[in-house]
Amino acid sequence: MPLNLADAEGNFFLKPNEVFYLEDVTGPGIVKAGAYSPLTIKPRLANQSGPLILQKGVIHPVFNANSPNLRQSSAVAVVTKTKEIIFVMSDREDRVKGSCHLSSARALVSASQL
């Protein structure tokens, strides 16, 4: 399936969005969707997802306590030094507490510092 770089409504289209991939030589990685096609890797798995909620330890500015993005979310991160893959999923109850994406981003920040 080709990359979807369209501008449209919804979390998936919040820029920058990302591609997570697994490649046999370089290992796992995450890149901005617009930077994926020029790569010379040959991944055995790649998945485009919604917004890049955490980039170099900084949470996407759209996701804050007042964010309207209240759907349950999941996220993936790759620890640069160890190439460990971290998956998180927000709790459904986060909808009443604030942004689920913010909860996921905070969990990624915490997990990547272990």
* Domain locations along the chain: 13-112
Q: What are the strands, taking DSSP E only, across 15-105?
A: 17-23, 27-32, 45-51, 54-55, 58-59, 74-78, 85-89
The answer to whether residue 95 scores a pLDDT higher than 60 is: no
pLDDT of residue 14: 84
pLDDT of residue 92: 60
Higher-confidence residue of 32 and 96: namely 32
The answer to whether residue 111 scores a pLDDT higher than 90 is: no
pLDDT of residue 52: 85
